[in-house]
Amino acid sequence: MTDVKAVPTTTLNPDAVAGTAQFLTPIVVGLTALSVDGKQAHWHVRGANFQAVHELLDDVVDHAREWADTAAERVVALGLPLDGRIQTVAAATTTPELATGFQQADQTIAQIVAQIDAVLVDVRTAIDELGEIDASSQDVAIEIARGLEKDRWFLFSHIAA
Ligand SMILES: [Fe+2]
């Protein structure tokens, strides 16, 4: 009979586990920040494009939450904890601060695109570094990059010349 206590947390090598936590955790932090500020932007956007941008920002929030969950669950699936508490996210995120109050849509979009770009820095680092460490974790980062770049396009197209 199998010894229950002998079942390992994971059969991946320790470098893959540590690398996954190192490179996916900043993505969880950035996406969590983006999801919070995306809602703030959703509530305070104004202007001729209100309806479209208001609804699009909710898509950005939903996607950020979904991808944060995917990245976080990759880390914990390998047996390491991470810290997604709001105080930790606020202290650690590299996303630029969102202006308070009501804003015109072009201002809102420029700020949320800047936040997406900050998250993409960490996503691209993860893609570069995880390729040598763990292909499955790299794949998580690749999926997030593709999605974030699409959301960025949907937002940016409202202000592009
Ligand atoms: Fe809403």
* pLDDT tens for each residue of 33-69: 999 999 999 999 999 999 999 999 999 999 999 999 9
- CATH number of the domain enclosing 138: 1.20.1260.10
Interval between CA 27 and ligand 1 midpoint (Å)? 24
- The pLDDT of residue 88 is above 90: yes
CA 140 to centroid of ligand 1, rounded, Å: 28
How far, CA to CA in Å, does 137 sit from each of 9, 72, 86, 88, 89? 17, 11, 24, 23, 21
pLDDT above 90 for 80: yes
List, in order, residues 6 or more apart from 88 with CB less than 8 Å away. 29
**Can you give the residue range of the structural domain that contains 42?**
13-156
Q: Determine the distance separating the centroid of ligand 1 and the alpha carbon of 25, expressed in angstroms.
A: 28
Give this prediction's pTM: 0.96
The 10s digit of each residue's pLDDT in 126-136 is: 999 999 999 99
Please indicate, yes or no, if residue 81 is contained in any of the structural domains: yes
Two tokens, residue 45: 């956007």
- Residue 5 is assigned to a structural domain of this protein: no
Domains in the chain, number: 1
Q: Is residue 161 part of a domain?
A: no
Distance 156 CA to ligand 1 centre (A): 21
Check residue 22 and give left, alpha or beta (phi > 0: left; psi -120 to 50: alpha).
alpha
Tell me whether residue 126 is in a domain: yes
First-residue to last-residue Cα distance in the chain: 68
